[in-house]
Structure 1
Amino acid sequence: MTQLPTRRGLLFGTAAVSAGALLAGCTSNEPKEKEQAADPQPAADDKPGKPVTIGFAGPQADHGWLAAINSNAKSRAERYEEVTLEITEGSNDTATQIGQIETLINKKVDVLVILPADGKALTQVGLKAMRAGIPVVNLDRIFNTPQAYRCWIGGDNYGMGLNAGHYIGERLKDKQNARVIELAGLDNLELTKQRTQGFDDALKNYPNIRKVARQAAEFTVESGQAKMAQLLQAQSNFDALWNHDDDQGVGALRAIEQAGRDDFLMVGGAGALSAFQAIKQDDGVLKATVLYPPTMAASAIDLARALGQGKGVGGLAEFEIPASLTLYSAVVDKANVDQYMSTGFE
């Protein structure tokens, strides 16, 4: 029998890989039947192992996606009788979040899962945990150096834009002089720039399509409605809209309805339940949304549990978990929406 790596070996012995799907788990054991309805993703190895205390620190849940991150982490941890989850009260204040993480370090938790309010600002506390022998699973917003985490798991912002662009492109490829517009998120965020770049790169494959307008919103319902109203007033004729975020998309759809417009198709982003329901109903402009799955928090708990118990990931030959996992931004439309409905966040 091969000897499992030591805890320090798990911290610093990395095997880099990028995964195009959600982490399925650490072994192939079946999930508990009574819990399957509450969590659509398969659980990691349900056979109880070594007790593990996982500290979880994230930003304030002031957005539907962030609230879903918290709920996914909690529900996943509840699957495992040997897992204790120490969860902090989320904060967007970096000093407060650093203090919360330092408290978890002082409690000597076995593993930390951190979704930083600001990856750059929290890099030092990630380093502090790693140097204290506590492996860190860095969730989504990345620290400045890989030395501050054992594993990173997150979404693909560039891939969101790329897949949205290809979806729109395929539907407009036979239309001459097609025109598209973009309702982006906060322009001061790198993720917004990545989503726009992916979208623009996809459209380069369709010479008949031209992006004629772009407006930045703020990932809120109110900003989505206001900025969409401005776009509709400025652009009397276009064929498709790419909206970066389903929360701000609620406001955008209000503005579209108020303007009485139904002459274009809309693609959203993230995977809100309201978007899935509208896509399934299929009586409006919203035809698809591109995922940025909050189920990544459940996968982060699986990774943390595996680290705490010295396990690898089922389906891979290595003894260690990967150094990074990039989740795929699947396109959800009427053809597959039922498959994803249970993962939608409110």
Structure 2
Amino acid sequence: MIVCLVAVLVAGCGADQETAQQAGSDKKDKIVIGAALPDFDDKWLSYLQDGMKQYEKTQENVEVIYVDAMNDASKQLSQVENFIQQKVDAIVLIPVDTTSAPNLVEKANQANLPIVVVNRIYDGVEAATAYVGSESIKAGLMEMEEVAKLLGGKGNIAIMNGQMGHEAQIKRTEGNKQVIERYPDMQVVLEGTAEWDRAKGMALMENWLQSGKQIDAVVSNNDEMAIGAIMALEAAGKLQDVVVAGVDATPDALEYVKAGKLQVTVYQNAIGQGQGGLEVAIKAAKGEKVEKFNWIPYELVTKENVDEYMKKWQ
């Protein structure tokens, strides 16, 4: 009887120990990724975050911690340092700005922690474990080439810049200007920043209209500013005289393309970048080999093919 009782107790202890070991194993097997994002309120970046969340749902034993830097580089530094202290398995970083990014990557490298930079590229990004995103200059080239075609290779161009100093602002504008240089009868007559924002794009366009300068096309670094320009042009009764172009092909922008108000946009695959960034981070966390540069291509969108891109957001 006593032998039987001991046997039952031993068996019970063994079962408890096995359960505890299993729980510990489950905890150990779980991959935790820290996602340091610059601004939860940015519309395009919200789609990128959606892409990460969609991919996260397809993965077993993966948890992603999302933090918002509110466009504050010092806050993002603190968040990355917290991830390192928490011993997450990898970090996905969309830097607030490209000036602070190298320091964040260096801190992760010193902690021997994989860090994947997404969307915002900068000189020296190869120090990170990997980069996932699109080549900004290509968006500027594609956008301006289509505008040049629509204008027949001649006209006055107004360029709307995003946040000055952002890699996308610098390279998209550089791409625009490379195309303009190829056309002797095209010139930039106005240039200013609306900081990626629709309301600021509208205000900038209103100022440009008051300048009295002839504007044949407004070429914007993103769709939000382009939509702002469209609103100002429409209010002034001048939209039919101006070609407007943007970048991103957001759902809102595609409605404007469909209506014939935004003639050109360039699809930047926010969801693809989010999914790709998280996928690479998970692989790196598992110790798998990853490509240093993972390019998500841009695609030209006009009224002719807009329906195809509207389906992507459904």
Length-normalised TM-score, structure 2: 0.81
3-state SS of 1:238 partner: coil
Gapped regions of structure 2 (runs ≥ 5):
1-28
- Partner residue of 1:248 out of 225, 237, 244: 225
3-state SS of 1:260 partner: coil
Please report how far the alpha carbon of residue 279 of structure 1 lies from its aligned counterpart in structure 2 after TM superposition: 0.9
Structure 2 residue aligned with 1:97: 76
Please report how far the alpha carbon of residue 146 of structure 1 lies from its aligned counterpart in structure 2 after TM superposition: 4.2
Please report how far the alpha carbon of residue 240 of structure 1 lies from its aligned counterpart in structure 2 after TM superposition: 2.2
Instruction: Please tell me whether residue 264 in structure 1 is matched to residue 246 in structure 2.
Output: no
Higher relative contact order (CA 8 A, sep 6+): 1
When Rg is computed on C-alpha atoms for both structures, the one with the higher figure is 2
Matched letter for residue 290 of structure 1 = V
Are 1:163 and 1:202, in contact at CA under 8 Å, matched by a contact in 2? no
- Partner residue of 2:202 out of 215, 221, 225: 225
Are 2:147 and 2:264, in contact at CA under 8 Å, matched by a contact in 1? no
Q: Deviations over 1:22-55 (max 9, x none)?
A: xxxxxxxxxxxxxxxxxxxxxxxxxxxx753221
Q: Deviations over 1:153-183 (max 9, x none)?
A: 223222221111111112223x6x4333222
Are 2:160 and 2:225, in contact at CA under 8 Å, matched by a contact in 1? no
Please report how far the alpha carbon of residue 203 of structure 1 lies from its aligned counterpart in structure 2 after TM superposition: 1.9
Q: Deviations over 1:174-219 (max 9, x none)?
A: x6x4333222223344432322211011123333323332232222
Structure 1 Cα separation of the partners of residues 196 and 245 of structure 2 = 15
Structure 1 Cα separation of the partners of residues 199 and 113 of structure 2 = 41
Q: How does 1:168-247 map to 2 (within 5 A)?
A: 168-173=147-152, 177-235=154-212, 237-247=214-224
Structure 2 residue aligned with 1:302: 279
- Partner residue of 2:301 out of 323, 326, 332: 332
Q: Report the CA distance shift for 1:128/1:331 in structure 2 as closer, same or farther (over 3 A).
A: same
Q: Deviations over 1:98-153 (max 9, x none)?
A: 22222222222222111121333243332222232221101123466346411012
Over aligned residue pairs, what C-alpha RMSD do you find?
A: 2.4
Structure 2 residue aligned with 1:34: none
Q: Identity over the aligned pairs, expressed in percent? A: 26
Instruction: Please tell me whether residue 132 in structure 1 is matched to residue 111 in structure 2.
Output: yes
- Partner residue of 1:291 out of 250, 257, 267: 267
Structure 1 Cα separation of the partners of residues 190 and 99 of structure 2 = 32
Matched letter for residue 331 of structure 1 = L
Gapped regions of structure 1 (runs ≥ 5):
1-49, 312-319
Structure 2 Cα separation of the partners of residues 123 and 143 of structure 1 = 9
Are 1:136 and 1:148, in contact at CA under 8 Å, matched by a contact in 2? no
